[in-house]
Structure 1
Amino acid sequence: MRNSIEQIKIDKSVIVQTALQFLQEHGIRKLSMRNIAERLEIKGASLYWHIRNKNELLELIADEICKKIKYPDESLSCEEQLAVLTRQLREILLNVRDSAHVLVETPPTTPYRINLIKKISGLFEKMGMKSEDIFSASWILNNYVTSFVIEEYRLNDVTDEKEVSQSLEALPFNISSMDMDREYQFGLEVLIEGFKSKLK
């Protein structure tokens, strides 16, 4: 265990960065307050002094993920800005193991995440979407990105482990050679065209 002088250096930012590293190495199933305390070489009680529970830790990880997003040039059209934002989010979620699961399992209550939601909803408003449709559009867009990335996780596991079943092999397309960037862009374009059809 760390001595008292070393423990003073532990704060929320250190804990979150440690948790992100652990998540990258071991995945969300093994992420626990106990494992993070062990990684930091501190007692569990010291960790709980900074963070109430695992749920709060996951919320802070989600906020750190959203913090990485750089907002696009406002001279771009609203549709282009939405595309840039969601492509960035997908890239970040693919780079941080199981981070899409973190977003799905946590409420949007932290600063950077709330700012991202406000940015996206503001773009829908600027597009001319009716106020009662803005939440629906934002929710659908969020679900598309996180669900798509979670499916990418699954497909990577299947192709990496070479466990494609006979039923999958019987499909009229080869999932092991899919261009996921193209598939993502196709779905995003369909969504944006659908959103445009709902404008005032």
Structure 2
Amino acid sequence: MATQKSPKLDKRLVTETALKLLNEVGLDGLTLRAIAKELNVQAPALYWHFKNKQALLDEMATEMYRRMVAGVHLPPGATWQERLLVGSRGLRTALLGYRDGAKVFSGSRFTGTEHAVEMEVVLHALVEAGFTLPQAVRATTTAYMYTLGFITEEQGVQPLPGERREGYDVEERAARMREFPLAAAAGEEIFEGFEEGFEEGLRLVVAGIEARYGIS
């Protein structure tokens, strides 16, 4: 009886397998040993492609970015506001597709320089609109950090769309905090309606950038 051969092991296959496994076990459960088992190889084989887990996370974040950019489409002649809005929405959509997606993405170092292409385009658009380069950097990084922080908190409640962690029942929280009526009522705004909450917060960020730098 012929033995089944494992597919040829390369960096892309390891990364794709890791992203798939991430949705099943989360970041804490994602180990090189678990990935090797999924690929039907010995763990040391992975070290030919990634020297440690962080190197793998860097490549995973880079692949997330590639997929995000491929799915983001800007209208011709987009304003700087539209660029920040569309880019931030695209990042959220992309990262919500992975359990702990924001945690993987946060603090990871992109491999290569692919991300510089889009970064150059966005910064150029803001400078053309009247921002200085430091202002353009601050505007884009502020929108990015808001988005990443929001997703991190959102995934703390809903690891994946349709899932909800135990302990985030809004009615139970309200009953427990009934002596603090405003704080109790705030739970519905904080732990429900993430889509609307993200959009409103993003609009606040863009409006704040407009007001701060006087560029509309």
TM-score range, shorter chain: 0.7 to 0.9
Q: How far apart are the structure 1 equivalents of 2:13 and 2:149?
A: 29
Contact 1:60 1:110 in 2 (8 A): no
Distance verdict in 2 for CA 1:199–1:37, change over 3 Å: farther
Letter in 1 for 2:194: M
Q: Confirm whether residue 66 of structure 1 aligns to residue 65 of structure 2.
A: yes
Distance verdict in 2 for CA 1:122–1:101, change over 3 Å: farther
Q: Confirm whether residue 161 of structure 1 aligns to residue 161 of structure 2.
A: no
Percentage of matched positions with identical amino acids? 24
Deviation at 1:78, TM superposition (A): 2.2
Contact 2:36 2:43 in 1 (8 A): yes
TM-score, structure 1 length as denominator?
0.85
Q: Kindly provide the CA deviation profile for residues 88-122 of structure 1, in whole angstroms up to 9, marking residues without a partner as x.
A: 11011111111111111312444343334334333
Deviation at 1:162, TM superposition (A): 4.3
Contact 2:6 2:39 in 1 (8 A): no
Q: Confirm whether residue 136 of structure 1 aligns to residue 138 of structure 2.
A: yes
Contact 2:123 2:133 in 1 (8 A): no
**3-state DSSP of counterpart to 2:76:** coil
Where does 1:27-176 land on structure 2 (aligned, <5 Å)? 27-68=26-67, 69=69, 70-156=72-158, 159-164=164-169, 165=173, 166-167=176-177, 170-175=183-188
Runs of at least 5 residues in structure 1 that lack an aligned partner in the other structure: none
Q: How far apart are the structure 2 equivalents of 1:118 and 1:103?
A: 20
Contact 2:18 2:30 in 1 (8 A): yes
Corresponding residue number in structure 1 for 2:198 = 184
Distance verdict in 2 for CA 1:193–1:40, change over 3 Å: same
Contact 1:78 1:126 in 2 (8 A): no
Segment of structure 1 superposing worse, 72-81 or 88-97: 72-81
**3-state DSSP of counterpart to 1:72:** coil
TM-score, structure 2 length as denominator?
0.79
Q: How far apart are the structure 2 equivalents of 1:55 and 1:132?
A: 30
Q: How far apart are the structure 1 equivalents of 2:209 and 2:60?
A: 30
**3-state DSSP of counterpart to 1:171:** helix
Distance verdict in 2 for CA 1:129–1:141, change over 3 Å: same
Q: How far apart are the structure 2 equivalents of 1:84 and 1:4?
A: 45
Letter in 2 for 1:182: E
Q: How far apart are the structure 2 equivalents of 1:144 and 1:123?
A: 20
- Greater C-alpha radius of gyration: 2
Segment of structure 1 superposing worse, 150-159 or 13-22: 150-159
